[in-house]
Structure 1
């Protein structure tokens, strides 16, 4: 009986009372491998019209009427505003009258020369008188030319009272209303016209990163012939993609002293008017391919303000968090620039149930496929169902 009591006492104090070791969490994994991936540079950019014209007043006067509908398409030469022409019309008529008077004076001076020519040959008048008559005729002709030029200028000023569109495009809202005084000297802004059938997207690339890309191309790490124009694709602020790709058409040959960046520009077709001037977008520029690139599924990556991180399985079967430097998104995969190496096992499921150092039970998942149910034991099947996304 004493021996039985001692055995019961020892059983009560056995390690069974200690906390059981945590069970391994079943997870799906993929093995990191190299593959040929596009080299994508992602940058923020701003949409700009290919052409912008500021319509300004070229004469001083009162706006009588707006002749276009705000926000509509206008053609080059189409009337947009009418400025009161009465004062300039009177000035034009006055100049025209001065021209007629000058023409009459010139005609009279030429007639005097014609009369003096035979007289000077007969010594009926002195050569000095004849020369004075010739000079007076030339001066009268010069006055005619001067006033004709003034009349042309007055005609231009009168024509400017009808303000026309300098280019075709979409006209913005009017900056003045009927009755407003506009000034030629100040160049009063009346409206703007933007051509958006195709648009520019400008963005700035760090000079150091641009040099790094150039070095990788020269070293052969990036396969880029350079003969073709780099393709650019856009993503809107809400995450949707713009369907039509664009092409790089400009690269600045100087570095901005204040920002240390180089300006890059791409042109995009915009016949449907989806891209709006001033809009912020993200541009993905494809510059060649990388033969030894690494990509992991999006669901395996946790993105934070410092970049991204993934869970990998170490040699002891424990989950370890690994910070990674992310590149661009390709479909449902993140390009990983650094932080992973070939052969690493990356966890792609049950991330919310694991912590760094937690034991896991990995089930290999072929890239791009679901784990086959026949390849797992009953507990693994249950884990696959619990971790399915």
Structure 2
């Protein structure tokens, strides 16, 4: 019995001792928690925005054509007797290109020449006859009717000479058409016909296409909205005056390289394409070296000056519901989300015309950890250092 009481007493002591230990641990944990305090604000890079004069570019898909794309077609019928050039050859104006069998046209010219000689002989005979009759009429040897007949015969003979001369000239022209020459300098296109082919002016395909490419036209289109913005950007009371103010444009080739020579916008189509809602413009580029060919494609790049544009690095932004935001840092180092209005892009930068201003401070990186109204510890980074590593195109 005494042993049982002793065991119970030992159990009660252990129980109360355990409770005391738990209580002391809880008190110490609470004291440690109260003494630790809130974590410090996160340290994040911050930049001060600046205004810059920046040139940006807008690219528009363009098709290239030679300043003169000339269809070479036969003007007389016949068989091709010779082809003097090959596809892709560069030729000068007057270079022989094709020859059509000329034998029947030579014979036609010979016949026309003979007809002219016969008509001239008839005219000479009519002149002689008229010269004999005129004095006889004045002497009343022959009647006046014979004189009028002789004069009419002489006039008919003169008309026959004119007709024969015209026929000879036409025959000579037709013979000349059998040798087809280049009407301008340029490159020879595809030649779908071979020696011996029968050709005529009504063939569906031309003999070839001659592209004069000393200058190349680049045709591109603007939407109605883009055209209004474009035309309002330059001073002038007339369209010609405005086009003279447009700076030189660049041509981006199919391999994304930039053509070394700049061009100019020369003309604008007079009407909009109602189906596409666009208007066509033509830029002209020099092509003395012949690097550009008719039928190729590229993109016309229009420069646009952005004066005093607020520059915002794209990595300092985030998107929410189709809008672009930045975290602006206040004087108390709290952040506020600001929607920005983007006017243009230049490389990895937005050019902003609303939402933030030059001198405002924004968070440059680490936005994924931020919430509206959060406090940060700013670590100032110079925007100039960022622009040096990834520069803008300045005026």
TM bucket, shorter chain: 0.7 to 0.9
Query: Partners of 2:63 and 2:39 in 1: how far apart?
Result: 52
Out of 351, 357, 377, which is 1:336 matched to? Answer: 351
Deviations 1:174-217 (A, max 9, x none): 12111111112347501111122221222112222332344566
Distance 1:46 1:78, change over 3 A: same
Out of 93, 111, 122, which is 1:76 matched to? Answer: 93
- Equivalent in the alignment of 2:253: 236
Query: Partners of 1:348 and 1:114 in 2: how far apart?
Result: 112
Q: Note the aligned Cα RMSD (angstroms).
A: 3.9
Q: Given the two structures, how large is their TM-score scaled by the length of structure 2?
A: 0.75
- Equivalent in the alignment of 1:379: none
Distance 1:246 1:14, change over 3 A: farther
Out of 146, 156, 164, which is 1:147 matched to? Answer: 164
Q: Does residue 101 of the first structure (1) align with residue 150 of the second (2)?
A: no
Q: Does residue 5 of the first structure (1) align with residue 22 of the second (2)?
A: yes
- Equivalent in the alignment of 2:307: 291
Secondary structure of 2:71's aligned partner: strand
Of 138-147 and 237-246, deviating more is 237-246
Count of aligned pairs between the two proteins:
356
Of 90-99 and 60-69, deviating more is 90-99
- Equivalent in the alignment of 1:381: none
Secondary structure of 2:250's aligned partner: strand
Contact kept, 8 Å, 1:58 with 1:187, in 2: the verdict is no
Contact kept, 8 Å, 1:308 with 1:325, in 2: the verdict is no
Superposition pairs of residues 344-359 of structure 1, within 5 angstroms: 345=361, 354=368
Query: Partners of 2:220 and 2:86 in 1: how far apart?
Result: 33
Shift of 1:309: 5.3
- Equivalent in the alignment of 2:104: 87
Gaps of 5+ in 2: 1-16, 236-240, 389-395
Distance 1:251 1:125, change over 3 A: same
| Larger gyration radius, structure 1 or structure 2 | 2
Deviations 1:360-388 (A, max 9, x none): 8764432341599xxxxxxxxxxxxxxxx
- Equivalent in the alignment of 1:382: none
Contact kept, 8 Å, 2:243 with 2:265, in 1: the verdict is no
Shift of 1:132: 0.6
Distance 1:36 1:69, change over 3 A: same
Gaps of 5+ in 1: 219-223, 373-389
Shift of 1:58: 0.8
Q: Given the two structures, how large is their TM-score scaled by the length of structure 1?
A: 0.76
Distance 1:47 1:185, change over 3 A: closer
Query: Partners of 1:154 and 1:212 in 2: how far apart?
Result: 59
Query: Partners of 2:288 and 2:243 in 1: how far apart?
Result: 29
Out of 294, 298, 305, which is 1:281 matched to? Answer: 298
Superposition pairs of residues 1-389 of structure 1, within 5 angstroms: 1=17, 2-8=19-25, 28-38=45-55, 40-186=57-203, 188-215=205-232, 228-286=245-303, 289-297=305-313, 312=327, 325=342, 327=344, 329=346, 332=347, 334=349, 336=351, 340-342=355-357, 343=359, 345=361, 354=368, 363-369=379-385
